[in-house]
Homo-oligomer: A and B are copies of this chain.
Amino acid sequence: MTSRARIEHMDDHTGYLIIKVAGMAVPAFERALVPLGLNTRQVRVLGFLHGESLSQAELCARTGLDRTTMVAVLDELEQLGHATRERSKSDRRKHVVRITRNGKAAYAKATKKLLRAQEELLQPLAPAERAQLHTLLSRLFDASQACAPEPAAEAVS
């Protein structure tokens, strides 16, 4: 070869491809929630409240959000009428965070919107390929989680 090998842009690497596709997914999801007046972070938190009432610290542990950020998110959700805070009777330092009926309805709508956005994002792939992609990404994510086990968080009353 007359020198100058084909230029290898880091943009072509699989790792960077992941980042670029995520860069498409993030705004797509945020856009999908705009009509509901919600953002993905709020919806994520609602998702963890769907089955059980948790303290703010426990919500932080599950979502990976900072506790100062969690204060802001819950302020927003409370103002929207999607969640409530009340002091725990067993440990008065803690707040029991509950999702409201409104919050559950909003979460259901949000899930539909997000699934539609995902549908659009994954449209170039056939169903079997989407399943493949899901499996491959799950394996990558699970492998990383195996290293850093999270301490089990219990529900509060």
What residues make up the interface of A, taking CB atoms closer than 8 Å to B?
Answer: 4, 7-11, 13-26, 28-29, 40, 43-44, 47-48, 50-51, 110-111, 114-115, 117-118, 121-125, 129-130, 132-134, 136-144
Contact = CB atoms under 8 A, between A and B. Distances in A.
A50 B7 contact: yes
A134 B109 CA distance: 33
A44 to B, nearest CB: 6
A49 B20 CA distance: 20
Contact of A21 (B28, B29, B43, B140): B140
Nearest to A139: B124
| SS of A interface (majority) | helix
Nearest to A29: B15
Contact of A19 (B26, B43, B143): B26
Nearest to A49: B7
A46 B7 CA distance: 11
Contacts of A47: 7-11
A15 B114 contact: yes
Nearest to A17: B137
B14 A22 contact: no
